[in-house]
Amino acid sequence: MATEQQEEEHLNQEIQQVEAWKTLNEAVDAGDMEAAHDILEEATSDDKRRMISLLDAEHRDALCALLPVDEAAELIESLADAQAVKMLEEMPAERAADVLEELGPDASGDLLRDLDDDSSEAILAEFDNTQESDDLRERVSYAWDSAGGLMSDRVVSFRENTTVAQVLTELGEHAEDYSDNEVQYFYVVDKNKILKGVLALRNLVLGRRTRAIGELMIKDPASVPVDMALEDLHDVFEKKNYLAFPVVDADGRLRGIVTRDAMQEALSDTQTDSYLKSSGIVGGEELRSMPLKERCMRRLAWLGPNILLNLLAASIIASYEDTLQAVIALAVFLPMVSDMSGCSGNQAVAVSIRELTLGIIQPRDYLRVLKKEIWLGLNNGIVLGVVLGTLAAVWKSNIYLGLVVGGALMLNTILSVSIGGIVPLILKKFKVDPALASGPILTTCTDMSGFFLVLSLASAAMKHL
């Protein structure tokens, strides 16, 4: 637990941050680049990201325009992807090209992939170095979650006939190029850049200086093709405890290196994406700094279909108006039965999505999932049904009302956990994203069945109610 002193320190920090943000805002207003620069310099990356996000779009663009290219690049890099893409779109294409050239191909590729095709091409056309823009076009053509999309170009390769001494000299002379922590392996290629072998730094430094690295290398090293999907990459890293794999194209040419880190991060992004989608944030990340219109349209895109599904469910109630008119107390229990079943079903959805992710179940295991969920539904349904049924019976002093409400909740719990358990499997089978569609499908089904069960059971027991 935080002590009082820590709290106070924390508060002071917050006040300082707000002050810093205000000063930044004023500096941008006044076009005072130096002051803005100083504030950003002092901030941690999280704070920087926060401050930039809280600026309105105009101030942000103005700030970016004021900074020298290298600092603008640094600023863009510190932002969330969605924000960075937005800023690039607002910039003149020439300036955007300068910033991307500064950022390097890895980061640029990721950003360009998220830009619309026209903006992306306009920016690439402004590149000074056409080799670089061609490489980027190729990178952008790979899916973000494939080996090609995740690879880094920080890969060091030498020709087979290079000697150990030559490699060491090269490393010594260009130490700053290799000072990157990621360089622990050297790849060996032939004159056409075809991957031939791999050599650990260790083995290089321990090797006789006059030998060609082609003799020291491990031949036919494990590699992954540019189009390998994230799922398969995950498998490959699971099977071999390597920190990285070289990425090769269809001809076997070395194109880059994909690290365990990059794979892990992509997996984590996918999981975030699932969470957002399951909450109805679709079509990419939403940040509150985005324009209102875009945020509204995106959220409505998911709410729209939902209103139709809701209508479908509500139509059940409409068809039982007479029953409802006769026993108005039922109206109190309709939303409760559908809500509670929805909650139970969502638990089953989450477990199925989790087990699919872990590779513990596959779509064809639906019978097993169904069996497991029906038993659980029977148990939990009885518990919840007895609780709600008792409450209903006591409230209106009518045991039949209790039986109707409790029975409906029990049956609907069994139904909803069964549906919740298998819907993700069915969606996966038909290659629809389970995180996106399971929730709305489940809710509609359990709403409909819940309303139907309460009202039809009530109709049947009408003379006792």
Please give the C-alpha separations between residue 321 and each of 172, 273, 443, 461, in angstroms, as whole numbers: 85, 41, 22, 16
Half-sphere exposure of 300 (CA within 13 A, CB side): 6
Work out the number of other CB atoms within 10 angstroms of the CB of residue 308: 10
CB-CB contact of 100 with 111 (8 Å): yes
| Interface with a copy of itself, residue 432, by CB under 8 A | no
Q: Which residues pair with 245 in a beta bridge?
A: 258
Nearer to a copy of itself, 124 or 393 (CB): 393
Q: Of these, 383, 394, 460, 464, which contacts a copy of itself (CB under 8 A)?
A: 383
Cα radius of gyration (the chain)? 30
- Find the binding residues for a copy of itself in span 317-376 (CB under 8 A): 317-318, 321, 324-325, 328-329, 331-336, 338-340, 343-344, 346-347, 349-351, 353-355, 357-362, 364-365, 368-369, 372-373, 375-376
Q: At what angle do helices 81-90 and 105-114 cross, to 10 degrees?
A: 80
Dihedrals phi, psi of 173, to nearest 5 degrees: -75, -30
DSSP string, 430-445: TT--HHHHHHHHHHHH
Q: How far is the CB of 460 from a copy of itself (least distance, A)?
A: 19
Mark the segment that binds a copy of itself (CB under 8 A) among 35-43, 89-97, 126-134, 299-307: 299-307
Nearer to a copy of itself, 120 or 278 (CB): 278
- Find the binding residues for a copy of itself in span 115-134 (CB under 8 A): none
Q: How far is the CB of 98 from a copy of itself (least distance, A)?
A: 23
Total residues at the site for a copy of itself (CB under 8 A)?
A: 107
| Interface with a copy of itself, residue 176, by CB under 8 A | no
- Find the binding residues for a copy of itself in span 225-264 (CB under 8 A): 235, 238-239, 241-243, 260-261, 264
Please give the C-alpha separations between residue 362 and each of 71, 210, 423, 436, in angstroms, as whole numbers: 48, 54, 12, 18
| Interface with a copy of itself, residue 140, by CB under 8 A | no
Q: How far is the CB of 131 from a copy of itself (least distance, A)?
A: 26
Angle at 17 between CA 11 and CA 19, to 5 degrees: 105
Q: How far is the CB of 374 from a copy of itself (least distance, A)?
A: 11
Nearer to a copy of itself, 124 or 313 (CB): 313
- Find the binding residues for a copy of itself in span 277-296 (CB under 8 A): 278-281, 285-289, 292, 295-296
CB-CB contact of 151 with 258 (8 Å): yes
* CA neighbor of 353 nearest in space, from 446, 424, 305, 304: 424
Mark the segment that binds a copy of itself (CB under 8 A) among 35-43, 132-140, 218-226, 313-321: 313-321
Nearer to a copy of itself, 37 or 260 (CB): 260
Nearer to a copy of itself, 130 or 272 (CB): 272
- Find the binding residues for a copy of itself in span 64-83 (CB under 8 A): 80
Nearer to a copy of itself, 161 or 362 (CB): 362
Q: Give the Cα separation of 400 and 292 in Å (integer).
A: 51
| Interface with a copy of itself, residue 301, by CB under 8 A | no
Mark the segment that binds a copy of itself (CB under 8 A) among 59-67, 94-102, 141-149, 275-283: 275-283
Helices (H) and strands (E) in the chain, counts: 23, 7
Nearer to a copy of itself, 124 or 409 (CB): 409
- For tokens 């909650």, name the residue: 343
Separation of CA 436 from chain center: 12
How is residue 110 written in tokens?
A: 């990721």
Q: Of these, 6, 12, 16, 44, which contacts a copy of itself (CB under 8 A)?
A: 44
Tell me the pairing of strands 224-225 and 244-248.
Answer: parallel
Q: Of these, 379, 394, 460, 464, which contacts a copy of itself (CB under 8 A)?
A: 379
- For residue 346, what are the contacts with CB-CB under 8 A and spacing of at least 6? 420, 439, 442
